[in-house]
Amino acid sequence: MKKPWNIVVMRGGPSEERAVSLNSGQAVIEALKSLGHVVTDVDPRPGDWKLPETTDAVFLALHGTYGEDGTIQRELEAVGVPYTGCGPETSALAFDKARSKAAFEAGGVPTAPYVICGQEEREAPTHLGLPLVIKPARQGSSVGIEMLRDWSDWPGQLDRALAFGGDVVIEPFIEGREITVGVLEGEALPIVEVCPKQGFYDYHHKYTAGATEYVCPALFPDSVRIGIEQAALAAMAAVGGGMYARVDFMVGEDTIYALEVNTLPGMTATSLLPKAAAAKGISFPELCERLVGLALAGRGQPIT
């Protein structure tokens, strides 16, 4: 029988997604404790955290900057502690939407046309048409996303997106079905379809109870489903791979468009990756424990 592990759950942190991270971390703490593991709760800041000497592994329940951009991963590797999720390079690449879009193109992953704008490059991309989606390049959870429907709103909406720091990615709004595919140990999990009751899947619809419905497994013909699963694995490979992640897509009438790879997706029992795992027969506590086991096995620690 596996002995209890001493696990630190890192949650909270300094990003715009702090509140979401606190919820993810609390769910993970409860799940791991339910299986008998010893769990310590740590709310880190850059360079300002301490782990118990008995720590076997860190479960990263951080989202956004510092958590998903490779920073905490580099700090943990510097002290030689196993952690869940992707490594620093993959995390940094996937978190930057501008870099990951280029990686998708280089890897043959279907993605929508796009342009990058910044403080110095502000020309409206009229060749892309309307409506457009304006995304801060280095934020998650739909933080800072703007929907441009009239060119007269371009200056103000661009400024609001740029206020989150760094460049912004602009791409056409794709009419179609929004889906997400969990990838666990190189295998695509059942597809989750996201159905906002109004508008698009923004921060409000992600975190407001009852604002969105979910279908898992999503209903697609086998040929389409297989194409989506292959695209998810290709997107994961394009950013460098890792033990687990979630890949978001829009599916049009005849095209699949990769949006982004989330290397530390939401981890409450009702989040999208856990929904997909549950459809595969993996309970939430089992999923959390499995991710810790992968961290230990993948970073030189025996599982006993």
Q: Which entry of 144, 244, 246, 271 is annotated as an active-site residue?
A: 246
260 is catalytic: yes
The answer to whether the CB of 116 falls within 8 A of the CB of 98 is: yes
177 is catalytic: no
CA dist 140 and 97 (Å) reads 10
Query: Greatest CA span in the chain, whole angstroms?
Result: 65
Beta-carbon contacts of residue 259 (< 8 Å; ≥ 6 apart): 111, 248, 249, 250
Compute the chain's Rg from CA coordinates.
19
Q: Which entry of 64, 87, 266, 289 is annotated as an active-site residue?
A: 266
254 is catalytic: no
The answer to whether the CB of 63 falls within 8 A of the CB of 20 is: yes
Q: Which entry of 229, 260, 271, 289 is annotated as an active-site residue?
A: 260
186 is catalytic: no
Sheet holding 57-60, edge to edge: 38-42, 6-10, 57-60
Q: Which entry of 15, 21, 23, 141 is annotated as an active-site residue?
A: 141
The answer to whether the CB of 195 falls within 8 A of the CB of 135 is: no
Q: Which entry of 68, 69, 146, 248 is annotated as an active-site residue?
A: 248
207 is catalytic: yes
CA dist 96 and 190 (Å) reads 26
Q: Which entry of 21, 142, 262, 271 is annotated as an active-site residue?
A: 262
Q: In 142-176, where do the E strands start and end?
A: 146-148, 168-172
Per the structure block, which two tokens stand in for 40? 């310590």
Ramachandran class of 213: left when φ > 0, alpha when ψ lies in -120 to 50, beta otherwise: beta
Q: Which entry of 77, 176, 207, 214 is annotated as an active-site residue?
A: 207
Q: Which entry of 11, 15, 17, 271 is annotated as an active-site residue?
A: 17
248 is catalytic: yes
What is the number of residues in the chain?
304
Specify the DSSP element, H or E, that contains 39.
strand 38-42
Q: Any idea which residues carry the catalytic annotation? A: 17, 141, 207, 246, 248, 260, 262, 266
